[in-house]
Structure 1
Amino acid sequence: MQTPADGVSTPKSKSVSRSSAPYQTSRYPLGCLTSARRRLSYRLPSKRRVPPSTPFQETLDQQKGALLLQKQWTLYSVTPMHNFSYNKLKEYSKHLSATIAAEKQKGVAVDPGTDFNLKASFSCLPGLRGKEKDPTAILVQITGKSQTQHSKAGTEERIVWTGWFCGTYAEEDILEVIPETFTCLPLFLINGSETFTTIVGTWFQQAFDCCFGKLVIRSHDLRWLAAMCAGYEVHGHVPTTELVFSVPVEPHMDISFAIHPEDFKTLWNDIQKSKDEVTVEEVEHLFQCLYSHFFRHFKIHLSATQLVKVTVAVVSAHCDGKVKFFSKDHLVRVLGFFTEIAINNIQY
């Protein structure tokens, strides 16, 4: 999937905002997902509220819930969708299926492992809700039939692409200013080929006059993520906490800093003053302690590097917008963190 240069967020990037309309939305040709324009400036938060632990609710189908874990997802931000209706999901399924079939007939190399019987399906994920006013998450799946020797009918249906929209713990002041004709699901996660992503994204843009932008996770947001997830209680096997830093040298080199999860949690508990919020001073203090420890042993200043990947007990996230979720118990809380980043990536 091709994204224009202004669709990739970098700390030094600038964009020109338009004040004539509340949302920067338009229609785009097939084959290109165009990013929503960024705000003129990105204000670093001085503190973030720690959302309450909200596990999968009983209304979320466990089979669907399992699809969201242990897969690598690519993050996008999405502007509000105009005239989207939860009552028309079956209709949307038919329209998107017809679009995919039409693209395949044009000779688009959709998926060599499937036949022409590709279909799309829309469904709700009501269990992914942090608070009552959160919009209901939407799951979009594309399935196809592949030849298999073990299937009695000679074909077996399999999921070839998955995407889902959510707005967990979305700020109420943002939701209140959005007109009733718009649905705000700012975070879009996909797992599948770029071809399907382009087809699905373009269909949404044309159907609901919205824009997609590739979500880049900044180094300071990764530090916040590591700090906020450090205190989460996780049952069962807990992977080693790993921080990966990019060294500004040629040839390119990364430094991996592995920390025992209990040591990381103990350090954070000694620093965090309130269980209800996290401050920027606490995050900076945590990483200064880690930098000092690393320098003491290896004589390397990690403060001169860029944090590019964080792996903690509940999630793994890379600066290029690739994430993987490990724990269903804290999925909703982590989605709230990425929802905030997605909202900041949109020009309102």
Structure 2
Amino acid sequence: MAAVADIEPDDPRDDLHSNKRTTVNPRFRDVPRSIMSPWFKSPYTPRRGLIKLATPLSRRLIPKLRTASMSADDEHQFEGLLKKQWRTYSLSPLFNFKPHRAVLVKYERSLDAALSQAQSTSADILNSGAEKSHFSFYNGLKFNSDDPAALRIQVWEKNATGHESKIVLEAFLLCVELSMSPIPAELKAYFTYYPVVLVAGNKSKTTVLFDWLEHHFDCRSDLLTLTDADLRHLLAHCSAFMSGNKSPPVLMQYSLEDKCEGIQYINCKLEAHYCKQLWERLFSSPSTKRELFQSDVDSFVDHLEQLLEHLMSIVFKKLSLSEVGTSAAYISHAGKIKLFSSSVVYTALHVLCDIANDRYLEMAPRDQ
């Protein structure tokens, strides 16, 4: 049975709740009230005071403060982020997280200790080397003054000889120009919000990383799977940044797992130049359109599905997308993403952050 902790009436975090009692994870029943986060409680406890947002009317193609589209591809831009497959996770606000270099060094030592402890209980301890983590700020992903600086976490493992090292885990904590932060202004000093985490590497190290974040910063993490509506948004946004006529075809994969026994997927590929011409005919260019509304997304994807229906006599609008891909980005229902072009980095990550933020808000019951 979950323990209950009293929060002092003058605690500013009381604004998140209409009552003074918060259900707390039982393993934290002895944590002093003065450092206890109101997010650390039963998943069914109402989170009152959060800003409730409806589905955004639009999502941006280019940063709000920029007047032109993202710059052309540069092989040195977004180093370590492009052309690598990532798995996306959502993360609730971090309580008492300090994004300062001096504090990040302390976080490194703390995570190293967690990795060492996990390694000592691993069955593969004889084949594992020493592990060391490194926290750093990642330039180029801060598009708004309200966004926290993007954080890059790398875990290095030395081989048995103790000489050569390799990266066994890499993670990016991101907040890319949310439509609106869910944290009330008076509580922003207590919480840092990275709605999306991109992870590549060892699964067991990934588990250690998220367990460490949840333990120290009273947050929750979850795999960010994408719905049909999410994939439609991402397809429409990423199609704005396709390259020339020699680009690989646009992929629209539909799931048939619940529709047709024996057939799991239908892969549809459309010529990139056709999709690019359609996008430009409907919306001109990202520098002039700047953002897409829900009606824009529906219009673009409906045009593509009407063509497929004409060619294949299948009503695709009654099916659900499971993967989409363009020359700029590939995204799957399972939360896997691969970015090929620096021009698409902003819009793809911005849409993912908005999706994760919407999910987070949906988890909070409405005030009664």
- TM-score bin (small chain): 0.7 to 0.9
Per the alignment, in what secondary structure is the counterpart of residue 232 of structure 2? helix
What residue number does 2:111 align with? 96
| Residue correspondence of structure 1 range 168-183 to structure 2 within 5 A | 168-174=176-182, 177=185, 178-183=187-192
Amino acid in the other structure paired with 2:147? D
1:204 aligns with 2:213: yes
* Structure 2 Cα separation of the partners of residues 236 and 294 of structure 1: 20
Q: Which amino acid aligns with 2:252?
A: L
Q: In structure 1, which of residues 123, 126, 146 is the aligned counterpart of residue 139 of structure 2?
A: 126
Q: Secondary structure at the match of 2:159?
A: strand
- Partner AA of 1:170 in structure 2: L
SS at match of 1:324: strand
Aligned residues: 317
- Structure 2 contact 59–351 (Cα < 8 Å) conserved: no
- Distance apart, 1:233 and its partner CA: 5.5
Cross-structure match for 1:9 = none
**% same residue:** 24
- Helix, strand or coil at the partner of 1:86: coil
Task: Decide which of 309, 322, 332 is 2:323's aligned counterpart.
Answer: 309
Partner-residue secondary structure (3-state), 1:121: strand
CA distance in structure 2 between the partners assigned to 1:21 and 1:271 by the alignment: 53
Structure 1 residue runs of 5 or longer lacking an equivalent are: 1-17, 148-152
Q: 1:275 aligns with which of 289, 293, 299?
A: 289
TM (norm. structure 1) is 0.79
Q: Provide closer, same or farther for how the CA distance between residues 20 and 284 of structure 1 changes in structure 2, counting only shifts above 3 A.
A: farther
Structure 2, unaligned stretches of length 5 or more?
1-16, 29-40, 64-68
Q: d(CA) in 2 for partners of 1:283 and 1:42?
A: 20
The separation in 2 between residues aligned to 1:190 and 1:276, in whole angstroms, is 29
- Point out the structure with max Rg over C-alpha: 2
Q: CA deviation at 1:167?
A: 0.2
CA-CA distance at 1:244 after TM superposition: 0.5
User: RMSD across aligned C-alpha pairs, in angstroms?
Assistant: 3.5
> Partners in 2 of 1:107 and 1:114 — Cα distance?
9
Q: Which moved more, 1:264-273 or 1:220-229?
A: 264-273
Partner residue, 2:37: none
Check the 8 A contact 2:23/2:45 in 1, yes or no: no
Is 1:264 aligned to 2:279, yes or no? no
Report if aligned partners of 1:316, 1:323 keep a CA contact under 8 Å in 2: yes
1:79 pairs, out of 64, 74, 92, with 92
Matches within 5 A, 1:55-70: 62=76, 65-70=78-83
| 2:158 corresponds to | 145
* Distance change >3 Å, CA 194–CA 39, structure 1 → 2: farther
What CA distance in whole angstroms lies between the structure 1 residues aligned with 2:217 and 2:302? 46
Task: Find the counterpart in structure 2 of residue 231 from structure 1.
Answer: 240
1:137 to partner: Cα distance: 0.7
The residue number in structure 2 matching 1:107 is 122
SS at match of 1:174: coil
Match of 1:189 in 2: 198
Letter in 1 for 2:322: V
> Kindly tell me: are residues 185 and 276 of structure 1, through their superposed partners in 2, closer, same or farther at Cα, counting changes over 3 Å?
same
